[in-house]
């Protein structure tokens, strides 16, 4: 598809509902249903060019302010500029793209977590192609396997392939262990462990579920509820899978193709967002970098101004609406006057899982065809290894590839606080220990830490999000949380973008319930682009995780964990 069609002419711009009329409420109204807003202004100016001019002037004086230049924030900005508006985007970082940025160091490019561009939302697909020139949006093969005891095992799991790779003796032991579990299933199958053992036996459970899942989430599998496993694993029947393996191919119904395809920008996901930011600026929007939104000033039931800090100076600007992709916990604390104590408490009780990548440059001979491999070994801390050269040859340099070792952590824990050199030494040691590199192979290394990579789903998170959401809807309805951390929701890029798109339409008078995005799809086991996560044990008030696991198993993780899904992934992304 070609370049975006910007409608810079004010006459082409549909009317945004003027700030002064939208959702006005008296201050201090208790939480409750959203009041019926006053009727929206007609979409066609009734007073002709003068009104249109005044309206445009008002828009320029009171822009929509967007916190964050990640996929959510930039999608909102891009769509607003298409309406002829001039949004102001504030980005705390020195780079756009948020979690979906491409980090560049010495000409090496890293995609943190590995971002496949795949969506079932047609509007998002259209936007991607509108933003990125066709030649820069590649179709890439997807391959990912489990690396276990020196062998590559297909993922998603295929029973015979897994058993063959485990070796004859271990396969027989797994068979007996499975039969034993069928005869004497665990009494408590309400937790993830009991549920899986009953269906796969202890040995297969230990090989393929326990370690990796614990690396991802940083909590013992026995503390996770079974329903999450049941939703994800329900279609894999080990007995049927083994029988299928011996049947002629046409008799097989459950075999998944190992290699799929996904779209990918030549220079990684950040390329999409760098070009998007350029388009926003070219169309009259403003993107302020290293500009942290610090305060949203609320008066008479709406946000009227925002303050942000940039280069040591505080700026205050008027705001018609505030679209926020900053973490919900942070958003609540920017609101002035502060929300009531229960709303602040709900915000402080939202938690996150963080993550870091140790990127190691190695000779091309150390490359593998997979985009990433899962590391189920218990004797290393690394959870997954990205091969950036397999994502795109443009991310690496001739004759070498770069492997991104992913460690899943809580911000502030021992691994998070390790010096970069120590992390690089650890990563190199683990790569050699796993047999994926030899002494002297690692040419150099880089460390990238990602705060709040994953919203943490504990037993209180839903109530906390509801409390915050209802308060904002009642007290400052022109503040719009969107995106992933913005809504404390496992949104991929596509859903983050879609929440932004619907919000822009809401500002323009529509009445979408943005919170339903990525809900219906959540537990689809096949081909879903939705993300989900198990509900985890509570973290304490200091934000510390349940301390049952050692450092090595306290690492969390985004893509794919667990092995059991026959047709999709268990990615907690």
Ligand X SMILES: Cc1cc2nc3c(=O)[nH]c(=O)nc-3n(C[C@H](O)[C@H](O)[C@H](O)COP(=O)(O)OP(=O)(O)OC[C@H]3O[C@@H](n4cnc5c(N)ncnc54)[C@H](O)[C@@H]3O)c2cc1C
Binding region for ligand X (CB under 6 A)? 67-73, 90-93, 98-100, 113-116, 292-293, 325-326, 330, 453, 483-486, 491-494, 496, 558-559, 573
Closest to ligand X by CB, 191 vs 503, is 503
CB of 330 to ligand X, least distance (A): 6
What span, in angstroms and rounded, lies between the C-alpha atoms of 138 and 261? 10
Closest to ligand X by CB, 199 vs 480, is 480
Closest to ligand X by CB, 118 vs 148, is 118
Nearest residue to 147 (alpha-carbon basis) of 453, 387, 484, 316: 387
What span, in angstroms and rounded, lies between the C-alpha atoms of 235 and 153? 19
What span, in angstroms and rounded, lies between the C-alpha atoms of 538 and 523? 22
CB of 142 to ligand X, least distance (A): 10
- Cα torsion 88, 316, 505, 470: sign: positive
CB of 485 to ligand X, least distance (A): 5
What span, in angstroms and rounded, lies between the C-alpha atoms of 323 and 66? 5
CB of 218 to ligand X, least distance (A): 15
Closest to ligand X by CB, 115 vs 203, is 115
Beta carbons of 87 and 80 less than 8 angstroms apart: yes
Closest to ligand X by CB, 71 vs 554, is 71
- What string of DSSP letters covers 57-124? HHHHHSPEEEE--SHHHHHHHHHHHHTT---EEE-SSSSSSGGGPEEEETTEEEETT---B--S-HHH
**Numbers of helices and strands, H then E, in the chain:** 18, 20
**What DSSP designation does 411 have?**
T
What span, in angstroms and rounded, lies between the C-alpha atoms of 417 and 411? 8
CB of 571 to ligand X, least distance (A): 7
The two structure tokens encoding residue 355? 């993550």
What span, in angstroms and rounded, lies between the C-alpha atoms of 145 and 154? 5
Closest to ligand X by CB, 84 vs 269, is 269
- How many C-beta neighbours within 10 Å does residue 56 have? 16
Which residue is listed with tokens 């789903």? 457
CB of 342 to ligand X, least distance (A): 23
CB of 125 to ligand X, least distance (A): 12
CB of 92 to ligand X, least distance (A): 4
Closest to ligand X by CB, 93 vs 237, is 93
Closest to ligand X by CB, 270 vs 389, is 270
- Between the CA of residue 398 and those of 105, 349, 389, what are the distances in Å? 16, 47, 10
- Cα-flanking dihedrals φ and ψ of residue 139, to 5°? -100, 120
Closest to ligand X by CB, 98 vs 220, is 98
What span, in angstroms and rounded, lies between the C-alpha atoms of 13 and 339? 35
CB of 276 to ligand X, least distance (A): 11
CB of 422 to ligand X, least distance (A): 22
Closest to ligand X by CB, 68 vs 534, is 68
CB of 308 to ligand X, least distance (A): 7
Closest to ligand X by CB, 89 vs 442, is 89
- What string of DSSP letters covers 217-278? HSS-GGGSBHHHHHHHHTT--HHHHHHHHHS-GGG-SSPPPS-EEEEEETT-HHHHHHHHHH
- Cα torsion 273, 274, 279, 281: sign: positive
Local structure of 536: helix, strand or coil = strand
CB of 346 to ligand X, least distance (A): 18
CB of 461 to ligand X, least distance (A): 17
What span, in angstroms and rounded, lies between the C-alpha atoms of 270 and 570? 24
Closest to ligand X by CB, 304 vs 529, is 529
Residue 317 class from Cβ within 10 Å (0-12 exposed, 13-18 middle, 19+ buried)?
middle
> Which element (helix H / strand E) includes 373?
strand 372-375
> Which element (helix H / strand E) includes 358?
strand 351-363
Closest to ligand X by CB, 291 vs 360, is 291
Closest to ligand X by CB, 304 vs 499, is 499
Helix, strand, coil shares of the chain as percentages rounded to 5? 35, 20, 40
CB of 487 to ligand X, least distance (A): 8
What span, in angstroms and rounded, lies between the C-alpha atoms of 257 and 154? 10
> Which element (helix H / strand E) includes 40?
none
């Amino acid at each position: 598809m070609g370049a975006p069609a910007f409608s810079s002419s004010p006459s082409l711009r549909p009317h945004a509902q003027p700030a002064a009329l939208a959702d006005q409420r008296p201050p201090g109204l208790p939480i409750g249903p959203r009041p019926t807003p006053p009727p929206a202004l007609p979409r066609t100016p009734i007073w002709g060019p003068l009104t249109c001019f005044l309206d445009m002037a008002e828009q320029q004086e009171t822009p929509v302010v967007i916190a964050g230049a990640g996929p959510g924030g930039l999608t909102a900005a891009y769509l607003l500029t298409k309406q002829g508006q001039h949004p102001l985007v504030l980005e705390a970082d020195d780079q756009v793209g948020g979690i979906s940025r491409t980090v560049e160091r010495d000409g090496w490019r890293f995609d943190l977590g590995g971002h496949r561009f795949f969506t079932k939302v047609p509007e998002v697909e259209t936007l991607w192609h509108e933003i990125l020139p066709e030649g820069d949006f590649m179709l890439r093969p997807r391959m990912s396997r489990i690396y276990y005891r020196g062998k590559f095992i297909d993922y998603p799991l295929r029973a015979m392939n897994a058993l063959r790779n485990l070796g004859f003796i271990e396969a027989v032991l797994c068979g007996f262990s499975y039969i034993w579990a069928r005869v004497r299933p665990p009494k408590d199958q309400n937790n993830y462990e009991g549920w899986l053992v009953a269906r796969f036996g202890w040995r297969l459970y230990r090989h393929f579920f326990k370690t990796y899942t614990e690396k991802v989430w940083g909590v013992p599998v026995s503390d996770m509820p079974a329903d999450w496993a049941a939703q994800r694993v329900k279609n894999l029947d080990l007995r049927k899978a083994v029988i299928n393996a011996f049947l002629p191919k046409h008799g097989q119904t459950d075999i998944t193709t190992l290699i799929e395809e996904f779209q990918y920008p030549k220079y990684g996901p950040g390329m999409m967002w760098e070009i998007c930011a350029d388009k926003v600026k070219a169309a009259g929007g403003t993107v302020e970098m290293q500009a942290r939104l610090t305060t949203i000033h609320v008066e008479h039931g709406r946000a009227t101004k925002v303050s942000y800090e940039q280069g040591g100076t505080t700026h205050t600007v008027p705001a018609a609406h505030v679209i926020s992709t900053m973490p919900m916990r942070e958003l609540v604390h920017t609101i002035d006057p502060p929300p009531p104590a229960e709303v602040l408490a709900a915000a402080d009780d939202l938690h996150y899982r963080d993550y870091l990548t140790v990127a190691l440059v190695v000779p091309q001979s150390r490359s593998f065809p997979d985009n990433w491999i899962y590391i189920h070994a218990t004797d290393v801390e690394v959870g997954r290894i990205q091969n950036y050269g397999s994502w795109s040859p443009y991310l690496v340099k001739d004759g070498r590839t770069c492997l991104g070792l992913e460690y899943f952590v809580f911000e502030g824990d021992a691994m998070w606080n390790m010096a970069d050199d120590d992390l690089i030494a650890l990563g190199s040691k683990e790569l050699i220990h796993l047999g994926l590199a030899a002494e002297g192979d690692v040419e150099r290394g880089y460390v990238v830490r990602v705060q709040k990579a994953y919203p943490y789903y504990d037993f209180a998170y839903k109530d906390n999000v509801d409390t915050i959401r209802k308060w904002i809807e009642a007290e400052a309805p022109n503040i719009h949380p969107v995106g992933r951390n913005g809504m404390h929701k496992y949104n991929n890029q596509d859903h983050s973008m879609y929440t932004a798109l619907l919000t822009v339409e809401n500002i323009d008078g529509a009445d979408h319930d943005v919170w339903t995005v990525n809900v219906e799809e959540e537990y689809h086991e096949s081909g879903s682009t939705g993300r989900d996560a198990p509900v985890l044990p509570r973290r304490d008030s200091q934000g510390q995780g349940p301390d049952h696991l050692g450092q090595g198993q306290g690492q969390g993780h985004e893509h794919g964990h667990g092995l059991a899904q026959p047709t999709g992934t268990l990615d907690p992304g």
